[in-house]
């Protein structure tokens, strides 16, 4: 009897492993705006760096995980009052360390990521362990440079992630040069198509209208947006592309399940990071 139970248990875990193979969760965030604590809201007290860390580590234990950030992450504003600079630098470094712990793959910046200058941005990227991507930005300060896109394989699935950012002139950081994002996308798209990825993802700091135009021109892409500060409970379909928005201040984590052999995502949701993530998990 004991042998049967043992064999059944082994079979269960073997089947579970097979089921997980070829499945990847794409977790995405944006517009953290330097926030590290829960919002303190009366109805739903959402957010907090520790809660997102806990959820990401749960997902990583469950199987293949890709963690992405669409920008406006490290600081509360493009320019900071002198009295807030040290506080916000410390918070930004905490965020970067959490990203290293949870395995952030790529970040495409927004204007709030350069509030302490371009060299400090590159220092945060180094501490995060992530790759800074942008097809239309060039950096002439600091010790880093943008990759136009990132290509890799996870659980037998090939992914490519592109970064696109648009700054208003008043918020263009010293040491950053920007080119037309659509023209830049057209240029890299030729190379992307040669790689034949299972899924192309754009981390966009352009705005919802521009994202919709992009979705029409490059069919089949997923666009994770950050500039509108909005959140979509359900992905927004544009032709056969999809737009995803996760809201602000790390209150929610976007999660997209993709399976090998399926034409699109299997499941997409926003996970609210509430008080439940403060409780220790029960030991079985």
d(CA 258, CA 199) in angstroms, rounded, equals 9
Element (H, E) at 281: none
DSSP 192-217: HHHH--SEEEEEEES-HHHHHHHHHH
What is the number of other CB atoms lying within 10 angstroms of the CB of residue 32? 28
Residue written as token pair 């990521």 = 113
Residue written as token pair 């990759």 = 147
Per-residue pLDDT at 142: 80
CB 14, CB 6: distance < 8 Å? no
Q: Residue 249 has what DSSP assignment?
A: T
Starting at the edge strand found earlier in the chain, the sheet holding 149-154 runs 149-154, 157-165, 199-205, 222-225, 241-245, 236-238
Token pair for residue 33?
A: 């705006």
For residue 143, the cross-strand partners are none
pLDDT tens per residue, range 78-136 = 999 999 999 999 999 999 999 999 999 999 999 999 999 999 999 999 999 999 999 99
Give residues with Cβ within 8 angstroms of 238, minimum separation 6. Answer: 212, 215, 216
Per-residue pLDDT at 126: 98
For residue 256, the cross-strand partners are 26, 268
Per-residue pLDDT at 231: 82
CB 26, CB 255: distance < 8 Å? yes
Give, in order, the Cα–Cα distances in Å from 262 to each of 24, 183, 255, 258, 268: 12, 30, 17, 7, 14
Low-confidence ranges of the chain (pLDDT < 70): 1-20, 263, 281-284
Per-residue pLDDT at 91: 98
Domain ranges of the chain: 25-278
Question: CATH fold of 25-278, please?
Answer: Purple Acid Phosphatase; chain A, domain 2 (3.60.21)
Distance of CA 147 to the CA centre of its chain: 16
């Amino acid at each position: 009897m004991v042998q049967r139970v043992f064999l059944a248990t082994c079979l269960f875990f073997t089947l579970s492993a097979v089921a997980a193979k070829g499945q990847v969760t794409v977790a995405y965030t944006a517009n953290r705006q330097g926030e590290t604590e829960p919002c303190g809201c009366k109805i739903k007290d959402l957010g907090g760096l520790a809660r997102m860390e806990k959820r990401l580590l749960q997902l990583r234990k469950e199987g293949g995980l890709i963690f992405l950030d669409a920008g406006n992450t490290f600081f509360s504003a493009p320019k900071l009052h002198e009295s807030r600079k040290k506080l916000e630098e410390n918070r930004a470094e905490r965020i970067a360390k959490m990203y290293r712990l949870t395995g952030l793959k790529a970040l495409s910046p927004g204007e709030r990521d350069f509030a302490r200058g371009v060299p400090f941005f590159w220092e945060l990227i180094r501490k995060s362990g992530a790759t800074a991507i942008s097809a239309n930005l060039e950096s002439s300060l600091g010790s880093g440079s943008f990759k136009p896109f990132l290509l890799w394989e996870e659980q037998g699935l090939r992914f490519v992630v592109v970064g696109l950012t648009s700054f208003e002139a008043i918020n263009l950081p010293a040491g950053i040069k920007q080119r037309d994002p659509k023209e830049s996308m057209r240029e890299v798209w030729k190379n992307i198509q040669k790689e034949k990825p299972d899924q192309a993802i754009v981390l966009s700091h352009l705005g919802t209208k521009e994202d919709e135009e992009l979705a029409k021109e490059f069919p089949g892409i997923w666009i994770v947006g950050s500039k509108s500060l909005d959140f979509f409970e359900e992905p927004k379909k544009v032709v056969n592309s999809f737009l995803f928005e996760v809201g602000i201040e790390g209150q929610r984590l976007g999660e997209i399940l993709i399976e090998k052999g399926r034409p699109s995502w299997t499941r997409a949701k926003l996970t609210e990071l509430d008080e439940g993530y403060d409780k220790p998990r029960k030991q079985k």
